[in-house]
Every structure is written in structure tokens, then in C-alpha cells.
Amino acid sequence: MNWSIFLLLFVLFVFVLLILQRIDPKKRVIAILPLIPALIFTYNYVNYRNAGREALLALVLAVLLTFAFWLFIGRYNRTRSADETIQVLGLDD
């Protein structure tokens, strides 16, 4: 098992999953579009390096870590929509 490939993929998967988890729900589709080429390059890199075991282990551990993050932090501090946080002040305010 190549630990450098595992760590690289683990950090990448955690980063991608945390971004998807913490993005505004209305903007989630827009956020996924730039990540698609990165995931395609990652898939090609894993196939080129023959690192299927490292990629699978990194993905499973990244999902577990981001689930723990959501369980302990994300449920209580949910991502608010921009509609909820923007406040328009009028002349009377």
C-alpha cells in the first residue's frame, strides 16, 4: 500500500465532501460542476497508478470523517440559505 497516494486521495476526498456538505443548498448544483473535472482527473490518476485499494480506503475513511463532522458540528450549525441571512433595511430601520 502506497501511503502517499492514500494521504493525497484522503485529503482530496475530505475536502470535496466538506465543501459539498457546507455549501448553500440552493447553490449545491453550481458547486458540483467545477468538482466534476477534478473527480475525473482523480479517477484517471487512480487507474494510472493502479491504486484502487488506496482510493477505496481513502474514500471510506473520508466519508466516515465527514459523517462524524456532520454528526457533531454540522447538525447543530446548519448552513443557512442566503435568503435567510440577507436583510434589507428600509427608511424606517
Confidence of residue 27 (pLDDT cuts 50, 70, 90): confident
- How many of the other CB atoms lie within 10 Å of CB of 55? 22
Confidence of residue 60 (pLDDT cuts 50, 70, 90): very high
Grid cell at residue 64: 466516515
- Contact between residue 26 and residue 14 where contact means Cβ atoms under 8 Å apart: no
Q: Look at residue 3 in the predicted model and tell me its pLDDT.
A: 92
- Whether 57 has a pLDDT exceeding 90, the answer reads yes
Residue type at 1 in one-letter notation: M
Global pTM value: 0.80
**Out of 2-11, 12-21, 74-83, least confident range:** 74-83
Name the burial class of residue 41, with classes exposed (0-12), middle (13-18) and buried (19+) by CB atoms within 10 angstroms of its CB.
exposed
Q: Look at residue 79 in the predicted model and tell me its pLDDT.
A: 72
